[in-house]
Amino acid sequence: MRLSTTTFFLFLVLATTHTTQAADIDIKKFGGAPNGDITQALVNAWKQACATTSASRILIPSGTYKMRGVDLKGPCKAPIEIKVDGTIQAPADPKQLNGAEQWVKIGYASHITISGQGIFDGQGANAWKQNDCNKNTKCERSAMNFGFYFLNHTIVRGITSKDSKNFHMNILSCNNFTLDGYKAIAPADSANTDGVHIGRSTNVKVINSKLATGDDCVSLGDANTHLVVQNVECGPGHGISVGSLGYYENEGPVVDFLVKNVTLKNTDNGVRIKSWPSTSIATTVTNMRFEDITMVNVANPIIIDQEYCPWNQCSKKAPSKVKISKVSFKNIKGTSSTKEGVVLICSKSIPCEGVELSEINLTFNGAPAIAVCSNVKPKIIGKAPACTAATNKVF
């Protein structure tokens, strides 16, 4: 029988779709069941998926599960999706994770997707009570909920990270990594629970997400390039931060960061660049763009702080050696909970260059918020507060 051109084309499409459809691997196959511990079941499912030459999808259905730490490594032979629709709980006792830096680690792989409406519950309340890092520089860090490292072409979509013991997520040395519809949730007083920390990565996007934590919603370490935070709600927490930088040896530059269409509510800071003083570490921060941002009762809506010294654990005798240039703040409006809506404290030895303030409309108690500046002469475009001399305010 001869096939018409249309029929042949439809047959070809159906055949192609069938051959590329991911094969489902339900953790039930490996003994993973609601109200039980699925640690080994997930590890075994990963091993099977990683070894197969066609795309696989690991399924964690609705229900509540327990899980100890897992370290899922590649390289793998084909794309893998982990679809989570249940709630997975970490041990409440931090010691039961045996000193692991992350509860769920995935690394050295490509084309990984984590999706679904699932919740990863770090049960961090006990860890927050034990956190004494504001007084003890040698404090023991509890596990983060997620650690993603050396991954290429990764998507995390729809999942929720809840009550992490430490950072909710660390993205390290990754390329083409997208967070879409991601939620990070923890109380405002939960120490060090950054929504997502990004380090030494390229082409990372955080989009359409809600981040409500006890620390930075998004924080950047060193050696990051081409990053985007867009359509994000932040608060409570400490805002969106570049840095802190200038603390560790051999830090790489941070280049090309766009923050756009973001709302920050009741945060300690809005958009911030911070570096440590009195160290010998030199690096650069350039091409930072903060645009179309709404502040609601934010303590420091716009801030560059090159005298960052939390808990007085350093000296401010010597200026920061981090070079900051080409930074624009554009169309930023809303309410500040302090009189100083714009604070630009740059290094005495390496002043900031190419800083622009454009269409800044921030109010404090109904009156226009002011701008205070040190070692920088920002270019004013349109409506924005003119700089006055900075005082010795501690941030």
pLDDT of residue 389: 86
Say which of 153, 197, 226, 238 is annotated catalytic: 238
Closest by Cα among 377, 250, 241, 259 to 303: 241
Is 18 marked active-site? Answer: no
Rounded to a whole number of angstroms, the CA Rg of the chain reads 23
**Domains observed in the chain:** 23-128+145-389 (2.160.20.10)
pLDDT of residue 392: 52
169-172/183-185 β-pairing: unpaired
C-alpha distances in Å from residue 66, one per residue of 41, 85, 91, 92, 256: 11, 14, 8, 10, 40
CA–CA distance, 119 with 98 (Å, rounded to integer):
22
Q: Is 119 in a helix, a strand, or coil?
A: strand
For residue 213, the surrounding DSSP H or E stretch is: none
pTM comes to: 0.92
CB atoms within 10 A of CB 159: 24
pLDDT of residue 141: 86
pLDDT along the chain (395 residues), means of 10: 44 42 93 98 98 98 98 98 98 95 98 98 95 74 96 98 98 98 97 97 98 98 98 98 94 98 98 94 97 98 95 82 98 98 97 98 98 97 92 52
Q: Which residue has the tokens 């990683």?
A: 50
pLDDT of residue 391: 65
How many H helices and E strands in the chain? Answer: 3, 29
CA–CA distance, 97 with 90 (Å, rounded to integer):
9
CA–CA distance, 55 with 19 (Å, rounded to integer):
10
Phi and psi torsions of 348, nearest 5° = -70, -30
- Cα torsion 49, 161, 268, 280: sign: negative
C-alpha distances in Å from residue 170, one per residue of 149, 194, 263: 8, 9, 22
